Amino acid sequence: DIQMTQSPASLSASLGETVTIECRASEDIYNGLAWYQQKPGKSPQLLIYNANSLHTGVPSRFSGSGSGTQYSLKINSLQSEDVASYFCQQYYNYWTFGGGTKLELK
Amino acid sequence: EVQLVESGGVLVQPGRSMKLSCAASGFTFSSFPMAWVRQAPTKGLEWVATISTSGGSTYYRDSVKGRFTISRDNAKSTLYLQMDSLRSEDTATYYCTTGALYFDYWGQGVMVTVSS
């Protein structure tokens, strides 16, 4: 089974700051990676797929990058509505989620 | 607008059964693979099962294999999850989602509590 290790587990940042969340796969997943945002009490929502493709309607301040086993999600110019938990997910071999990153405002 | 509405969640005793349903609308249900993803209280997301467009292919995580059955009725645009021999560790919010690889759209979720 492919394991997904996400870091950090929690993060505190200021409005307008740039934030980066990392995700490491236990083996090469060939860009089969998605990122999700889950606001408190809500369902997850797809942000990024294929490691770097923005899902419909997602603001352009969100971006994804990476290859092989290392991937990252970047949020430029942090907004208050970005306070949420973020999860990575591999779909190269079955489906596995990372443990999540809780993003709060400083 | 894509809508996925889960139902069927309730409190159930360990060892008992429960069936979840997910009513889909706003898209051509029969053209999309579907999946169930769960989230234990204050925990992360965990893929449970996936079904192909026709229902002919199904996939399960190891911990539910032999106990859970995913199925679909394309005529009714409805996805199901039959859960047997429930365990306390199955306690979670269960989400219905679209997609064969990444999960495009999610329902609001339904809570399943397994406890005596």
* Confidence band, pLDDT 50/70/90 cuts, at residue B4: very high
* Confidence band, pLDDT 50/70/90 cuts, at residue B10: confident
- Contact between B47 and A97 (Cβ < 8 Å): yes
Q: Give residue-wise pLDDT tens across range A37-85.
A: 999 999 999 999 999 999 999 999 999 999 999 999 999 999 999 999 9
Confidence (pLDDT) at B95: 98
Asked whether residue A7 carries a pLDDT value surpassing 90, the answer given is yes
Chain A contact present for B98, CB below 8 A:
no
| Interchain contact, B106 vs A43, CB within 8 Å | yes
Confidence (pLDDT) at A65: 98
Q: Give residue-wise pLDDT tens across range B27-86.
A: 999 999 999 999 999 899 999 999 999 999 999 999 999 999 999 999 999 999 999 999
Asked whether residue A18 carries a pLDDT value surpassing 90, the answer given is yes
CB-neighbour burial class of residue B20 (10 A; exposed 0-12, middle 13-18, buried 19+): buried
CB-neighbour burial class of residue A9 (10 A; exposed 0-12, middle 13-18, buried 19+): exposed
Chain A contact present for B40, CB below 8 A:
no
Asked whether residue B9 carries a pLDDT value surpassing 90, the answer given is no
Q: Name the residue among B45, B47, B102 with its Cβ closest to that of A49.
A: B102
